[in-house]
Amino acid sequence: MSHEHKKYFGGWILTLIIVLLFAGVVAGICIAGTSGGPDEDESFVIGVLLPLTGDNSSCGQELKRGIEIAVERLADEGRPVHVVYRDTGSDVSAGMRALLELNEEYNSDEDNRRMPVVIGPANASIAEKTGTMAELLGINMISLATTEAMNQYTRYNFKFVPSEKTLAKGVLMMAEQADPGDDEILQILVVYNPDSSGVSLADAVKSEAAELFEKREIAYEVIEYPLSYSMLKTAVEIQKYFYQSATEDEYLELLTLGEESEYSTDVVSPDFIYVVAPDSEYYLYVYLMIISSTPEVQSSVWAGSEQILSGTDIEYFAETDTLTLVPQRATNSWYKTQYETMFETAMPSYTESVYGYDALMVVAEVIQAYGTDAAAISEGLKRVRYIGMTGLVDFNEDGSRTSGYSLYHMDENTHEWTALNWSEYADLVTEIQAKKPVSLDTLKNYLEKNLLS
């Protein structure tokens, strides 16, 4: 629920402290991928904070492409907007300095605040800190990352990407379709890289399961299974080195990191396995590690977070009936054509660009209806209902986006992701759970073909 404006500012002393903390470093920041300053006749600008360089630059560049498609469309419709980019990299302090720089450049004149809204950041840690600052500075922030810590700031903060809680509910809708077997206990294994994003989503699955399944009187068990990315990569390097000369027993021990590994699991055959994967390579490694130690999990329902859609190596595992659930997506041939025309490259089957596109289109719709005053835009965002490339855009009382879901399945013949409806998914689950366990020879073939070449 919104609070009075004065509560967020916390008095002029708090504002002064923030300015003093960062004023000394703003002037020295090195910004990449920024646009030029606005012309004198432009009444407002829209700031954009994205990781255009560094570890997450591929995501940032895709989001930027979506924003550029929206800019082009709005210009064609006679609704031109001026967008100013700033690069956050993956650094929290860089993101905070970038926001302060934009505010100083465009909002220093209290009678002519020209930047009422910022799109981004795309990193949860940066979004948490800049979200606090945006609330204090009176700037609407359309975050392209989500963190539950932002829910306390509800006047100017809007989370455009569905929250961990929303995604967890969708995951559990998938898990509920699995047959719990003779023990009648629905066993859900959540594998995750123990970074902030992995831990957050794993915790959300566990807490939402307690609420959902206990209410429906469904017997269940959620097992959290942390697997660090670095440990997985080390294991694969060991496999590559010893594979040719290892006996079958040695090979199996190498795959499982040995029986004494801290990552050993007592799970024999969970009904549903959800891998919170930062990319498709992680998912691939997790599959090898778990299925080699417990071949029975071939008949488990395997699903990964939406990041696995962006990789190519997952195609080698079409035989495992890999599934994923993502916030609702629309199919639009116009967008694909526009993307490929503007950037002279094929649009990926999964692209983050649609989030950038929808974010700017929503802002443009609100500005057209409510004007460019920051408080008016905030009220407009709380009332907006927009159907875009990412489905319905609608924010609840704490600024979090509500969302439907789209299910995708790796087609074993075409090795492409295909959309499923829920009834098709239920039939597929029945087929998956009737499969025989995979053999060790099959695993060896996977490894030899995909990791050792």
**pLDDT tens per residue across span 21-72:** 343 333 332 333 334 333 333 678 999 999 999 878 888 999 999 999 999 9
pLDDT at 298 over 50: yes
Q: Which residue has the tokens 């490339």?
A: 389
Over range 138-142, report the average pLDDT.
95
d(CA 292, CA 287): 8
Rounded to 10 degrees, what is the CA torsion of 102, 106, 109, 112?
-140
pLDDT at 311 over 70: no
pLDDT at 300: 82
pLDDT at 68: 98
pLDDT at 100 over 60: yes
pLDDT at 29: 29
pLDDT at 397: 81
What's the pLDDT band for 162 if we cut at 50, 70, 90?
confident
What's the pLDDT band for 321 if we cut at 50, 70, 90?
confident
Task: Respond yes or no on whether the N-terminal peptide bond of residue 295 is cis (omega within 30° of 0).
Answer: no
pLDDT at 197: 77
| 3-state SS track over the chain | CCCCHHHHHCCHHHHHHHHHHHHHHHCCCCCCCCCCCCCCCCCCCEEEEECCCCCCHHHHHHHHHHHHHHHHHHHHCCCCCCEEEEECCCCHHHHHHHHHHHHHHHHCCCCCCCCCEEECCCCHHHHHHHHHHHHHHCCEEEECCCCHHHHHCCCCEEECCCCHHHHHHHHHHHHCCCCCCCCCCEEEEEEECCCHHHHHHHHHHHHHHHHHHHHCCCCEEEEEEECCHHHHHHHHHHHHHHHHHCCHHHHHHHHHCCCCCCCCCCCCCCCEEEEECCCHHHHHHHHHHHHHHCHHHHHCEEEECHHHHHCCHHHHHHHHCCEEEEECCCCCHHHHHHHHHHHCCCCCCCCCHHHHHHHHHHHHHHHHHHCCCHHHHHHHHHHCCEEECCEEECECCCCEECCCEEEEEECCCCCCEEEECHHHHHHHHHHHHCCCCCCHHHHHHHHHHHCCC
pLDDT at 97: 96
pLDDT at 383: 92
pLDDT at 268: 56
The overall average pLDDT reported for the chain is 78
Over range 189-209, report the average pLDDT.
88
Identify the bridge partners of residue 141 per DSSP, sorted by sequence position.
118, 157
pLDDT at 21: 39
d(CA 230, CA 196): 15
pLDDT at 394: 87
End-to-end CA distance of the chain: 56
Region at 391 (left for phi over 0; alpha for psi -120 to 50; beta for the rest): left
The neighbour count for residue 34, using CB atoms within 10 Å, is 15
pLDDT at 25: 36
When mean pLDDT is compared across 19-23, 88-92, 447-451, the lowest value belongs to 19-23
d(CA 444, CA 453): 13
When mean pLDDT is compared across 92-101, 238-247, 275-284, the lowest value belongs to 238-247
Over range 150-160, report the average pLDDT.
76
d(CA 301, CA 86): 42
Classify residue 422 as exposed, middle or buried by CB count within 10 Å of its CB (0-12, 13-18, 19+). Answer: exposed
Name the percent of the chain lying above pLDDT 70.
71
pLDDT at 365 over 50: yes
pLDDT at 323: 87
- 398 vs 16 pLDDT, higher one: 398
pLDDT at 319: 58
Contact call for residues 200 and 148 (beta carbons, < 8 A): yes
Contact call for residues 325 and 170 (beta carbons, < 8 A): yes
Q: Does domain 5-161+330-393 have CATH number 3.30.390.30?
A: no
Over range 374-393, report the average pLDDT.
90
pLDDT at 16 over 60: no
Contact call for residues 197 and 275 (beta carbons, < 8 A): no
CA angle 249, 255, 259 (to 5 degrees): 70
pLDDT at 368 over 90: yes
What's the pLDDT band for 433 if we cut at 50, 70, 90?
confident
Nearest one of 242, 297, 241, 237 to 265, comparing CA atoms:
297
pLDDT at 291 over 70: no
The neighbour count for residue 160, using CB atoms within 10 Å, is 25
Over range 141-146, report the average pLDDT.
88
pLDDT at 8 over 60: no
d(CA 438, CA 213): 30
Tell me, which fold does domain 165-329+405-450 have in CATH?
Answer: Rossmann fold (3.40.50)
Over range 201-220, report the average pLDDT.
90
Segments of the chain assigned to CATH 3.40.50.2300: 5-161+330-393, 165-329+405-450
**How does pLDDT run across 225-239, given as a tens digit for each residue?**
888 888 777 766 655
Over range 281-294, report the average pLDDT.
74
